[in-house]
Amino acid sequence: MKHTPRSIALHIIEKVLASRGLTVKEQLTDAFSAHELPPRDKALATELAYGVLRNLTMLDWHIARCSDYGTIKRPVNHILRLGAYQLLCMDKVPAYAAINESVQMAKRTSAKSAGFVNAVLRKIQGRRDRQVPESAFPGRTGYLAARYSFPEWMIRRWELQLGGSDLEAFCAASNERPPLSVRVNLLRVREDDFKKLLEERGVAYERGAHPLVLTLRSSVYAAELSDIFDKGYFFVQDASTVRIVDLLDPRPGERVLDLCAAPGGKATYCAQLMRNEGLVSAVDCSPARMALLRENARRLGTTIVQPRVADALRMRAESGAAQFDRVLLDAPCSNQGVLAKRVEVRWRLLPADIGRLSALQLRLLCAAARFVRPRGVLVYSTCSIDSEEDESVVEKFLAAHPHYSAEKVFKTWPHSDSIDGAFAAKLVRST
């Protein structure tokens, strides 16, 4: 069977929705390694895979109104979602191509399925209206869930933390196609020289929410920037995570410990701020992700980053040598601040996961505290905006560790800060 952008996207959608651990990004990387596609086809497969998962509930709402069936079985349902996304959300895709390709994929299931897909998509084509009317729902939660494609329990949770005025703005920002942000690596290139290289390649950019972060306005940046990427001139990184390292404030000559460090964005930025003087011990429990960290450190020229595969909960603080000036714990979390990028998370996260993660985060924070020297700094961060994973964890930690105090805390929101949602707390040890 010929592998087309649509068939690849369909396969990825099926796999990601059927699993608890696969990501769209990883599946696209694997698919592009296995099947040679021109850049245009790669872009289409990427748009389809992310777009369908980002708009799943909205697509299902339209499909339900154009179908006589209450429940549509897989894979026909996925084929309909793929076709509906092209018709409702992609103006540059001809309707005949979206419908035709979907029908051909459905024929592999049965002739009856192909006829059904053709009929439903032609009805959707006649609608050509993506808007989900609020009047069609008995309550606002159901409307927001359908329009922005988030589980209702998640929206109810956000409403408790945000209130009604910011809720829809947060939902909308968390469902937008995110821009590409890059951190300029001053260990390899001057900022002005990097900007000139972008301009020479015709890559438009804007100043990001941090002095060293640029937002690129190019959909094919990989091909245009592959040479300077290989030279280590930049790292793909959001301003929110750069701010977290700024809060840690590592300085030349210090000993820094970065726990849960892969793929290395924070560790390598630490080295940049330290002018490559001192030590950054980068720890992660995943050998595969640690291999990526090693490659990133090599590419970026951060010679003081020392990778180590280890479980932060099982590491022992040795006398003297294991005491660090600054410790960063970017804890595993629900990713509720980066749902625009991690589109699959909304379909696999469960309410019970929040409490489980919060308990793990507290254990990790208590473990990280063992490595901080007297008068040293401990920064706790997540890419979640959930208070149970953020403020609550810090409060419990401080209650059990009276020799620590919170010096500064910040939280960013996609809808108000125009960057990823994140939380960070700077904790200072007194003795």
Kindly list the catalytic residues. 383
What residue type is 9 in one-letter code? A
Report residue 346 CA to chain centroid gap. Answer: 11
Measured distance CA(390)–CA(380) in Å, rounded: 9
The H-assigned helical ranges of 203-279 are 221-230, 239-248, 265-273
Residues 6+ apart with CB under 8 A from 24: 12, 16, 49, 50, 53, 343, 344
By DSSP bridging, strand 279-284 and strand 305-309 are parallel
CA distance 58 to 148: 7
Q: How far apart are CA 335 and CA 383, in angstroms?
A: 5
Question: 375 burial class (0-12, 13-18, 19+ CB within 10 angstroms)?
Answer: exposed
The span from the CA of 217 to the CA of 255, in Å, is 37
Peptide linkage before 133 cis (omega within 30 of 0): no
**Cα distance between residue 6 and residue 37, in whole Å:** 12
Q: 284, 313 in Cβ contact below 8 A?
A: no
1 contacts 7 by C-beta, under 8 angstroms? yes
Give bridge partners of residue 255 from the DSSP assignment. Answer: 279
Inter-CA distances, 302 with 30, 246, 252, 283, 319, Å: 28, 17, 13, 15, 27
For 313, 329, 331, 381, 427, the CA distances from 403, given in Å and listed in that order, are 21, 18, 22, 20, 10
Chain Cα centroid distance, residue 254: 30
Between CA 305 and CA 300 the distance in angstroms is 10
Q: Residue 309: helix, strand or coil by DSSP? A: strand
